[in-house]
């Protein structure tokens, strides 16, 4: 077959074949039949989709979440301890009120047991009596009281500095021991 070209200069469709300028009426019909037989390939232009790069979890974020979890657990444990302590405070307050009532009872019993009249009557029953003036003896210490004071030897400035450093060292050792 000869090479054919389509020229579109004006509105008419001219087919040039074998250098013949005659108009080919059946060319369009043949072309339509061939197009029906050939499957059309359709290309769909899809928009480009730009994907975000996969994000990584930083180590500081993980450490922060772990720290928050630890602090949350510590707060929960402190609330549990607070509840336990408040329960023990309530029980101790009950014990204090019971002990105060017992203290009042025991103080009254003590005052009844050591009443002066009861003690004197018990002493007379046992044969005790007040001492007579002949039974009282006074000791006379005619010598005056005396005390001896020893003075320390005066040290020079260098000895005082060393002694103060030594005392400071011993106080530090005593504190940490």
Q: Could you list the pLDDT tens digit for every one of the 177 residues in the chain?
A: 444 444 444 444 444 455 566 666 777 777 777 666 656 677 778 888 888 888 888 999 999 999 999 999 999 999 999 999 999 999 999 999 999 999 999 998 888 777 788 888 888 899 888 888 888 888 777 777 777 777 777 778 788 888 888 888 888 888 776
Token readout for 171 is: 């106080």
50: left (phi over 0), alpha (psi -120 to 50) or beta: beta
Residue 16 lies in a domain: yes
Q: Are residues 28 and 64 in the same domain?
A: no
Q: Are residues 80 and 28 in the same domain?
A: no
Number of separate domains in the chain: 2
Q: Which domain holds residue 90?
A: 60-127
Q: Are residues 70 and 122 in the same domain?
A: yes
With contact defined as beta carbons under 8 Å apart, do 18 and 25 qualify? no
Residue 103 lies in a domain: yes
pLDDT (0 to 100) of residue 142: 74
User: Does this model's pTM top 0.75?
Assistant: no
Find the helix or strand (DSSP H, E) in which 15 lies: strand 14-17
pLDDT (0 to 100) of residue 62: 95
Q: Are residues 64 and 18 in the same domain?
A: no
Tell me how far apart the alpha carbons of residues 82 and 17 are, in angstroms, rounded to a whole number.
Answer: 104
Q: Are residues 30 and 65 in the same domain?
A: no
3-state helix, strand, coil in the chain (%, to 5): 55, 5, 40
Q: Phi, psi (5° rounding) for residue 110?
A: -65, -45
Residue 113 lies in a domain: yes
Q: Are residues 64 and 120 in the same domain?
A: yes
Residue 135 lies in a domain: no
pLDDT (0 to 100) of residue 88: 94
Residue 121 lies in a domain: yes
Q: Are residues 69 and 32 in the same domain?
A: no
Tell me how far apart the alpha carbons of residues 123 and 115 are, in angstroms, rounded to a whole number.
Answer: 12
Q: Are residues 29 and 73 in the same domain?
A: no
């Amino acid at each position: 077959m000869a090479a054919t070209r389509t020229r579109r200069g004006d509105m008419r469709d001219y087919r040039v074949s074998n250098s013949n300028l005659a108009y080919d009426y059946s060319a369009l019909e043949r072309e339509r039949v061939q197009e029906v037989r050939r499957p059309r390939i359709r290309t769909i232009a899809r928009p480009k989709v730009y994907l975000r790069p996969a994000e990584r979890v930083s180590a500081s974020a993980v450490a922060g979440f772990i720290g928050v979890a630890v602090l949350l657990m510590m707060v929960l444990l402190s609330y549990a301890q607070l509840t336990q302590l408040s329960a023990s405070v309530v029980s101790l307050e009950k014990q204090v009120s019971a002990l105060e009532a017992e203290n009042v009872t025991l103080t009254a019993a003590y005052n009844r047991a050591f009443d002066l009249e009861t003690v004197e009557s018990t002493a007379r029953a046992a044969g005790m009596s007040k001492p007579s003036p002949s039974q009282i003896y006074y000791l006379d210490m005619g010598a005056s009281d005396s005390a001896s004071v020893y003075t320390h030897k005066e040290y020079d400035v260098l000895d005082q500095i060393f002694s103060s450093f030594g005392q400071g060292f011993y106080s530090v050792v005593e504190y940490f021991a």
